[in-house]
């Protein structure tokens, strides 16, 4: 499935009843008897529970879209997509930034780009851990071994995690393992830019 398309997964109790784009899941859920309750829908990118029926602003071709934010007056370099926000730093940080080539903004952009490059593996692991924990907290919080499974997830111990969730319902276990797939990978070493 295309990573640029938002997807979600629906559970009725502990059984997975739909998976795909938000539009696909909405079509599938229209065919399911939801009168008994127990429906939970999760965004696959974040593991967060989402409301169903979809909130206002939902488009059949994509995931729910946030309400538009009023645009601020154009300042800076709009062709580059520059967004102005407040940054709070200590005086010594401002002094150092003022001495950098291109000024404070250029130096901050370079620092952020470097951190994104060198921390990409660690960030992916953290995001996968958070995604899996959101899902398991919502759907498996009452299952036996939840606390132990949570500890092994945050310890990035794949073997112990698999043991702790082995008795959980198969659909919950399968989806949780898929969401947590990057949580147990050791962070990749930063790539070198030197030639």
Domain hosting 23: range is 1-64
Which of 1-5, 78-82, 114-118 is predicted least confidently?
A: 1-5
> Per the domain annotation, does 69 fall within a domain?
no
The answer to whether the CB of 136 falls within 8 A of the CB of 50 is: no
> Per the domain annotation, does 137 fall within a domain?
yes
> Per the domain annotation, does 186 fall within a domain?
no
Identify the domain boundary among 64, 83, 98: 64
Single pTM value for the model: 0.72
> Per the domain annotation, does 59 fall within a domain?
yes
Q: What is the predicted pLDDT for the residue at 64?
A: 46
Q: What is the predicted pLDDT for the residue at 65?
A: 44
pLDDT at 165 over 90: yes
Across the range 159-181, mean pLDDT stands at 97
Q: What is the predicted pLDDT for the residue at 74?
A: 54
Q: Number of structural domains, the chain? A: 2
| Nearest residue to 183 (alpha-carbon basis) of 160, 163, 159, 154 | 154
Tokens of 77: 């370099």
Q: What is the predicted pLDDT for the residue at 190?
A: 60
- pLDDT band of residue 66 (cuts 50, 70, 90) is very low
17-48 per-position pLDDT tens digit: 999 999 999 999 999 999 988 999 999 999 99
Which of 1-10, 58-67, 91-100, 155-164 is predicted least confidently?
A: 58-67
State the SS3 of 115-134.
HHHHCHHHHHHHHHHHHHHH
Identify the domain boundary among 42, 64, 86: 64
- pLDDT band of residue 67 (cuts 50, 70, 90) is very low
Q: What is the predicted pLDDT for the residue at 78?
A: 58
Q: What is the predicted pLDDT for the residue at 154?
A: 96
Q: Which residues, other chains included, contact 145 with Cβ-Cβ below 8 Å and sequence gap of 6+? A: 164, 165, 167, 168
């Amino acid at each position: 499935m295309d990573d640029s398309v938002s997807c979600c997964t629906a559970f009725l109790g502990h059984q997975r009843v739909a998976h795909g784009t938000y539009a696909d899941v909405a079509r599938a859920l229209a065919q399911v008897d939801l009168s008994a309750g127990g429906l939970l829908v999760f965004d696959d990118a974040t593991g967060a529970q989402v409301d169903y029926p979809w909130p206002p602003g939902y488009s059949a071709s994509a995931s729910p879209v946030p309400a538009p934010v009023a645009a601020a007056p154009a300042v800076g370099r709009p062709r580059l997509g520059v967004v102005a926000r407040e940054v709070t730093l200590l005086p010594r940080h401002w002094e150092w930034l003022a001495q950098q080539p291109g000024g404070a903004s250029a130096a901050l952009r370079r620092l952020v780009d470097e951190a994104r490059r060198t921390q990409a593996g660690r960030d992916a692991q953290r995001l996968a851990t958070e995604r899996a924990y959101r899902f398991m907290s919502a759907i498996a919080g009452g299952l036996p071994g939840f606390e132990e499974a949570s500890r092994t997830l945050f310890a990035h111990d794949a073997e112990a995690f698999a043991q702790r969730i082995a008795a959980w319902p198969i659909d919950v276990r399968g989806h949780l393992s898929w969401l947590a797939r990057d949580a147990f990978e050791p962070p990749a070493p930063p790539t070198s830019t030197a030639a």
